[in-house]
Structure 1
Amino acid sequence: MWCIPPEQSAAFVAAMEAVLCLYALAYDPALPVVCMDEQPKQLIGETRRRFTDSTGRRIEDHEYVRHGTCNLWMFTEPLAGWRDVRTSRRRTAADWAHQIQALVDAPRYESATRIRLVCDNLNTHRIASLYEAFEAAEARRIAERIELVHTPAHGSWLNIAECELSVLSRQCLGRRIDTIQEIDREARAWAAARNQSQRGVHWQFTADDARIKLLSLYPRIAA
């Protein structure tokens, strides 16, 4: 289990149960639950062209060339079987703010009252980041359309978007890719295919389960 100091256990449990109770709610198009996560990806090129040997095995040279990095942004609505993947050169507070602006302005959510956004505890995932990127009126407009629900420290595994990023990496990006344009094309095609097949997520771990399986993380209450 995780090394969580006793003085932080109550905060961990509170944040964990907030996320788990959110996942247990019924689907509501006016208050959709969207999970977001981000992941850096190295841009790696080949020094020699890959080839196939006489047995049909793909041969790849161990030497490669680094072309920097890019960042993948994953947004997924588990109950709707929808996800969107975007790429950027950086992962600053302003970059996050622009991704959130694109989310709230997406036609998909134009009739939503508020988007309940599950994200981890990175210091850029804050309402303050909106004010760093936009004028106050625009930052307030975006802030009023989202409700941030942070996973606890050491608890990013509670974020369903992290699961989607893992699937993306294994199914689509598990090889050397040297340009951000190719990564963007591959990721968008992957997301479109999964959306077309309505690949949802059936989350089964509940707050009641946590009180049994993670009992050691809960603070001890003196009688």
Structure 2
Amino acid sequence: MTDEERTQREDLSRTGTRAASVILHARILLKADAGAGGPGWDDERMAEAVECGASTVYRVRQAFVEEGLTAALFRKKPTGRQYRKLDGAQEAHLIALACGAPPEGRANRTLRLLADRLVELEVVDAISPECVRMTLKKTNSSPGCASSGGFPRRPTPSSSAPWRTCWRCIPGPTIRPIRWSAWTKSASS
């Protein structure tokens, strides 16, 4: 490691403006430096010094050797992430199909019928019924669902009468021994 790279990593590990994992990986690389002026520690000693597992030290060093500095410092983007199959216009088309009248001879639409209809109308190339289900679940587009705005919620009335908290505000006689109690008499009586 050159002096410039070492200075860069020292600055990175000292400033608290980065993610904790980036700072930890920079500290591991500083301790692993076997060049002139570097400590060159072994994995167990580094793991103890930076308070992490030995496997973390091993993975950081391996990533530095095989892929370079950026791969060793920063985490990789997830590779198995599934992105949305439908965009906004396609979702709107799906919702319009789901809320519309079912086809002739059917009482309801099924997820498979909706998926097939989307492909038939060339909205998408291919889509699974599970993707249709997840999209409809996310949008709360069930025609009879109370949370979709079809049935506005009414406020629930209170089941108990309001209580007065000041003994001077209560009309009529109060119980003298406990006159400072807020629960001596209700306002409705």
Is this a same-fold pair by TM over 0.5?
no
Larger Cα Rg: Structure 1 or Structure 2? 2
Which TM-score band (shorter chain)? under 0.3
TM-score, normalization: structure 1? 0.18
Which structure features the higher share of strand residues?
1
TM-score, normalization: structure 2? 0.21
